[in-house]
Amino acid sequence: MDMRTDGKQTKKFRLPLFDIALLLLIAIAVAGASYWVSTRGEIETAVVEYTVRFEQVDNSYSGALAQSKELFFTSGLSMGEVVTSRVTRSTEKTFDLHTSYVEGGEYRYNETGSANKSDVLLKVRVTVEVRNGGYFVQSNRIAAGMTVDAMVAGFAGQGEILSVKQIAGETDNQP
């Protein structure tokens, strides 16, 4: 503080650095939030068809699975519309040391058809979100090679996704 000649004290002007830093942080946070909200509104979607194989399904359930119109995750969320289905007889691989030996030291399995088990192939069509190069149905990722827990009326089980094919793509602008 300085003394003036008239006896009054004057304050020296100091820059309020803390206040300026706080205002700068608030401005950066507001700018970041507005950028996040503006870019988040664009969701890329696509229509895909994927094939799911359910193996060794008991014949009493394979009909319900093959005739279903819609496939569901076990959580109850839709996995999409069933477009086609195919039921084939399951094969069982057995190994017998006496009959499965082949010249040259190689072994092979004997395959026999199962009388009471079937394999069911379902082709499913659904609109998905495309994120990070992957397809997502109801926030669940689908990709070839994945095992999914699925259900229809009268059946619940695990199936393997054999293939995923994009049919059409679009971008929805949603606020």
Give buried/exposed letters for 134-152 (b at 16+ CB in 10 A, else e). ebebbeeebeeeeebebbb
Q: List helix spans (H) across the chain.
A: 17-40, 59-66
Tell me, yes or no, whether 96 lies in a domain. Answer: no
Task: Let me know: does 118 contact 134? Beta carbons within 8 Å.
Answer: no
Tokens standing for residue 86: 């195919």
By the 8 A CB rule, do 50 and 142 touch?
Answer: yes
Residue 60 covered by a domain: yes
Let me know if residue 13 belongs to a domain.
no
Q: How many helices (H) and strands (E) does the chain have?
A: 2, 12
The tokens for 30 are 């507001």
Average pLDDT, the chain: 81
- Residue 174 has a pLDDT of 38
Distance CA 5, CA 41 (A): 65
Alpha-carbon span 145 to 134, nearest angstrom: 13
Number of domains in the chain: 1
How far is the C-alpha of 151 from the C-alpha of 83, rounded, in Å?
Answer: 16
Rounded distance, CA 48 to CA 165, Å? Answer: 5
Domain annotation covers residue 23: no
Would residue 125 count as lying in a domain? Answer: yes
What is the structure's pLDDT at 41? 55
18 part of a folded domain = no
Kindly report the pTM of this predicted structure.
Answer: 0.64
Per-residue pLDDT tens over the stretch 14-52 = 667 888 888 889 999 998 887 776 666 567 889 999 999
**pLDDT tens figures, 138-171:** 889 999 999 999 998 888 999 999 999 998 765 4
Residues 6+ apart with CB under 8 A from 30: none
Domain that holds residue 163: 44-90+117-170
- Give the tens place of pLDDT for each residue, 7-17: 666 666 666 78
Domain presence at residue 31: no
In a domain, 112, yes or no: no
